[in-house]
Structure 1
Amino acid sequence: MSVAFDDRPTETAPAPIWVEALPLADLQRKGRALVKREGRQIALFDTAGGVRAIANRCPHQGYPLSEGTLSEGTLSESTLSESTGDAPCTLTCNWHNWKFDLATGAVIGGGEAVRVFPSEIRDGTVWIDIADPPASQRISRALAGLRDGFRDPSDDRIARDLARIEAAGVDPRLGVRAAIRWTHDRFQWGMTHAHAALADWLALADEQDDPVDRLVCVTEIVAHLVDDSLREDSYPYADGAEAWDEEAFVAAVEAEDEGRAIRLARGGLAAGGWSRIDRGLCRAALAHYQDFGHSVIYVEKTREAVQRLDGANDMPEHADGGSVAEPLALLLVRALIYGRREDLIPEFKAYRPARDGWTGRGRSPVKPADLCRVSVAKALERVSAGSADPQRCYDAVMAAAAWQLLHADPVYATRAEQPISRNVGRLDFSHAITFANAGRRIMARHPALAPDVLLQTACFLGRNAGYVDPAYPVERWRVTAPRAFVEDCARAVIDHGNPEFIVSAHLVKMTCAVREEIEAAPHASWVPDLAAALNRFLNEPFKRKLTRRVAYQARETVKSE
């Protein structure tokens, strides 16, 4: 059942604005009427329960409810009108068969309620009250409608409910806050790309002059959160808090002790906010080369999301839209606990010795060309050899990562007859860049973590080195003005046209990461390759469903059982 939109306020409200509609006799003769008052279209119906007045536009897609079919005494959900004590009366919108209870505005079976206007009869004339409810009531109703829509989500409904929050005079990011809080316990393994992309969508929203574009960005966030949590059970977090102890927190994550890590994180937030726990989170994320780089990316993007959402002072206090620091921290800690520790598999066995052997005194210049086509072990060795100059190391690994994505061999991305281990596509290459972007920001705050960032980026380079084609024709992807190009990409990604949230999340993450890197070092030698790599990433067609590969690799796997 939908949330009823009863326009009768229960708190102090603006004075009623009663306007004359039409003679009662005219309404009784016709059974229905459409009147226009103060820019509103209002449909009136003469029913056994009295005169009913509702907004004429169906909240679903805006078709005229005055053209609907009226049925009295036939409500299929008897509870809809129980609170009013009125005879049941249903109006069906004939375009999509939505059925509204005219007493409350609620939709039978669930959906967005239609606004109901109070009415009364004075001296044989119908009058209606068109005063808007207080903003606080409108916000609460919009949030209630947004949450109700999570049962059967659609982008258009989410956008409409967020637009209703905006129409009440509040930043629709309030809906993002609420969605995070409503869904945070529905993620069994912790945060997903829905949370990782959140900060980038917010950044783009803040840059837009057009309110339509701002609403696109906010809708993408909420819709992705709902999609990833849809019909999931609740996976509660441990209760309680412990005094923050950074060493104890890092040890708890290492031991995969979710309960203690959660309690420590809560204690840290309570004692000093996000800045208190930031270094511990970064250390835990970088303790291993893990989770395909997601741990580091998630830590950095979560920090930014908290800053953008909790740092906004233009949103009202609301029970559903409070601080997101704790729910996001809980999601992040759970993701760190369950992250795959890839430095423990043979391919990356050289990582731990390289990290333990880092001296910070290596003075051999690191050249990008020396990192593009070498093994993991060799990439680690060459980065370590230049350890005295972290900035030069960073430029070298970023240059190599850009070159690799630009020269990625497309054969491995689509070929069916190959081992699973050779399923390497654009995301394998782009993650080196988004990881390095997050890592650079972490290094700026916590320089002691530079060896971890640089060596783990080298792991990406080594794992991808066997899947590049130096002869790949890259000129088609070259751009003449990299900075202008990435700004165009940032504007274009808003209208990305992709139905899969996992795809749009990577589009916005990669675009924002590349833009940040070029803004931070506009004259770096790797800028042309990085812009060209982004061009290829965004615009080269790719298959999203590889049916023959799935079948071939399934049969090969079964053969070895």
Structure 2
Amino acid sequence: MCALAADASPTSTANLASGNRIRVGTLAELQAKGRHLLKTGSKQIAVFASESGVYACNNRCPHEGFPLMEGKLTQGADGGGCILTCNWHNWKFDLEGGETLVGGDKLRRYPVEIVDGEVWLDLSDPPLEERRTAALESLRRSFRRHEYTRMARELSRLQQAKADPLDGLRGALDWTADRFEFGTTHAHAAAPDWLALRDDLAADEQERLVPLLEIVGHLAWDSLREPSYPFPAESRPYDAASLVAAIEAEDEAAAIALLRGALDKGLGFRDLEAPLAEAALAHYQDFGHAAIYVYKTGQLIDRLGPTSAESLLCNLVRSLVYATREDLIPEFRAYGEALAAWQEQGADGGADGGDGEGSEAVTAEDLRRLSVPKVMQRILRSSGDRKALYDALVGAASADFLQFDLPVADATDKGVSHNVGWLDFTHAITFSNAVRVLCSRHPGLWPQGLLQIGCFIGRNAAYVDRGYDARRWRVDDPDAFFEREMRALFDHAQPEYIVSVHLVKLLSAAKEEITADPAAPWVSDMLAAVNRFLHEPLKRKHAKRTAQQALGFVAAES
């Protein structure tokens, strides 16, 4: 055994400190007891005398804070050294070499000096830069097994070391940059909304930590055990049309090379937003995620600065290249025909309206209960007044969202094409938010954006209960509602990142839309729909439905 006798009695440190050095007691006393607990200020330091020497470390196990004074000391496998085991969860620390042998976080040790038969400790903290580097490296190691609580501790250590609070996020983006096979995920897209929540509503350090932890943890989860998917290294001269064409051709190598050429020229996201938005809206694709990802990537780059731009843009371009193109399947094929007709009739999406094609007035009720082809045709009849059409589309999407037929989500006797749930309706709102912002900046994209909102409405129409009484979900005070529900996100209790990000994304999008136009005719329905979504069941696992569909699929193969 490594240890001598054990005694956990603490010693007062009054009048014993000298600068950053502190006296423990005599070596003989320590050897007689085997271990000693020293308390100074907020610190608790465990001091051990073993056959191989005297060691001092934080008494609180870095895992969950249990007292290491109660731990077991043994020799290393080679018969040397001194191994300390925390008996609560079996974490093991090499007190001599400093390694954590079983567990994660590194244990803080203190240099020991024996002077004239007395034991002294040096309590000097390592330099701030060393502490920051150590915390970042440990944060990175926590990704391997998605150690959520360890991530929280390392982000806290970064803060304690006076680092930029966002450095942990920047590091996470760097470490995971090439770990996303299909590019941008919800982890990236929700990040600016989490950061806005942190800036606007966090009341204390605990609440300021939560959004960072949610983003970093989600990045870790989405990249968990993923191999590297390297981005092409080639750079070629950039022009916007070529970038759009390369994405359309699903040519990642060419698209990334053009992106690198743009970055080599010193171009930033705002210089690239127009072609990226054009590529994102070239199809009704990726169930609206493509446009949302463009908008949110720009917000995140604005927030983090240019050092994170390359990895974020590479992942965005990759996601656009691999985006599913739903307008090529029969259900949404009418979209392409409608877009061609809009362009032929010369509608420019202007707000003034006009005579002739596209001048018919439209309301939300005109667009509800229609199939995708009929929604497309109805949009064309009102294409001249962009603002009225946008309000009608968002109004229809909000009303359908409010009256979602909840039993549809529980059905177990339908085919895969009827796997519809709450998120099919929330996406119409987050997508509309991205459309408004992107198309306001790049007005030539309004036809694509408005028609694609219509695709959501036509697709969801079959899953709406028009008789549903939604009065109990009405919101009287929008400001109080948003503050209450967004503050609840600091302790959301959702075990799945995919759920918590949809909560923060939907609330953020709805708040942006209502803030932009608080008198819009759809405000009441949107607020009520969001309220209902937040407080109704969200079924995430469909065991019986999955079994039924699998049996049917396999039977059809026979």
TM-score > 0.5 by shorter chain: yes
Residue 514 of structure 2 is aligned with which of 509, 515, 518? 518
Note the alpha carbon deviations across 1:346-372, whole angstroms, 9 max, x for none.
111111121122232522112110112
Counterpart selection for 1:168 from 144, 161, 169 = 161
Q: What is the distance in 2 between the residues matched to 1:449 and 1:116?
A: 60
Q: 2:50 aligns with which of 35, 47, 51?
A: 47
* SS of the residue 1:186 aligns to: coil
* Pair 1:99-2:83 in alignment: no
* Aligned counterpart, 2:218: 224
Tell me, in whole angstroms, the C-alpha distance in 2 between the residues paired with 1:25 and 1:531: 72
Question: Which among 353, 360, 365 is matched to residue 369 of structure 1?
Answer: 365
- Alignment equivalent of 2:228, drawn from 204, 212, 234: 234
8 Å contact from structure 2 (residues 364, 396) kept in 1: yes
Residue-by-residue CA offset, 1:194-214 (whole Å, 9 max, x unaligned): 111111111111122311111
How many residue pairs match? The answer is 526
1:197 to 187, 190, 197: 190
- TM-superposed deviation, 1:110: 4.2
> Residue 132 of structure 1: SS of its match in structure 2?
coil
Query: What SS does the aligned partner of 1:100 have?
Result: strand
Q: In structure 2, what residue type is equivalent to 1:547?
A: A
Counterparts of 2:281 and 2:76 in 1: how far apart (Å)? 65
Q: TM-score, normalised by structure 2?
A: 0.92
Q: Distance in 1 between matches of 2:106 and 2:279?
A: 46
TM-score when scaled to structure 1? 0.91
> Residues 127-276 of structure 1 correspond to what in structure 2 (within 5 A)?
127-207=120-200, 208-271=202-265, 272-276=267-271
> 1:289 is matched with which residue?
284
- The equivalent of 2:337 in structure 1 is 353
Contact 1:402–1:533 (Cα < 8 Å) also in 2:
yes
Relative to structure 1, is the Cα distance of residues 405 and 257 closer, same or farther in structure 2, using a 3 angstrom cutoff? same
SS of 1:22's equivalent? Answer: strand
Q: Which secondary structure state, in structure 2, belongs to the residue aligned with residue 70 of structure 1?
A: strand
Tell me how large the CA RMSD over aligned residues is.
1.5
| Structure 2 counterpart SS, 1:185 | coil
Q: CA deviation at 1:172?
A: 2.7
Return the offset for 1:446. 1.0
User: Cα offset for 1:247?
Assistant: 0.2
Contact 1:150–1:230 under 8 Å retained in 2: yes
Of residues 60, 64, 76, the one that matches 2:63 is 60
Amino acid at match of 2:299: E
1:474 paired residue among 470, 477, 480: 470
Q: Note the alpha carbon deviations across 1:309-337, whole angstroms, 9 max, x for none.
A: 117xxxxxxxxxxx111111111111111
Deviations along 1:18-70, one digit per CA (max 9) or x if unpaired, are 12222222111101101112431111111233211111111100011111111
Residue identity (%)? 50
Aligned to 1:529: 525
Aligned-residue offset at 1:16: 7.3
Runs of 4+ aligned residues of structure 1 deviating over 6 Å after TM superposition are: none
Candidates 337, 343, 349, aligned match of 2:321: 337
Deviation at 1:280, TM superposition (A): 1.1
Is 1:551 the counterpart of 2:547? The answer is yes
Instruction: Give a deviation string over 1:506-552, Cα, whole Å, max 9, x none.
Output: 11111111111111111212111111100111110132211111111
Structure 1 residue 89 corresponds to structure 2 residue 82: yes
Q: Deviations over 1:477-516 (max 9, x none)?
A: 1121123212211111221101011111111111111111
Counterpart amino acid of residue 257 in structure 2: R
Secondary structure of 1:45's counterpart equals strand
- Retained in 1: the 8 A contact 2:169–2:216? yes
What whole-Å deviation, never above 9, does each CA across 1:173-208 have from its counterpart, x for those lacking one?
Answer: 211111111012111111211111111111111122
Q: Are residue 427 (structure 1) and residue 452 (structure 2) matched?
A: no
| Matched letter for residue 52 of structure 2 | G
Answer yes or no: is 1:309 the counterpart of 2:293: no
Among candidates 282, 295, 307, match of residue 300 of structure 1: 295
1:391 aligns with 2:391: no
Question: How do 1:460-471 and structure 2 match up within 5 A?
Answer: 460-471=456-467
8 Å CA contact 2:422, 2:538 repeated in 1: no
Q: What is the identity, as a one-letter code, of the residue corresponding to 1:535?
A: N
Contact preservation (8 Å) 1:74, 1:89: no
AA in 1 matched with 2:188: H
Q: State the alpha-carbon separation in 1 of the partners of residues 472 and 555 from structure 2.
A: 42
Give the letter for the 1:101 counterpart: D
> In the TM superposition, what is the alpha-carbon distance from 1:91 to its structure 2 partner?
0.3
The letter for the 2-side match of 1:26 is E
In structure 1, list runs of 5 or more residues that go unmatched.
Answer: 1-14, 79-86, 312-322
1:14-33 superposed matches below 5 A: 17-33=20-36
Check if 1:400 corresponds to 2:396.
Answer: yes
Greater relative contact order, per chain length (Cα 8 Å cut-off, separation 6+): 1
Q: CA–CA distance in 2 between the matches of 1:276 and 1:268?
A: 9
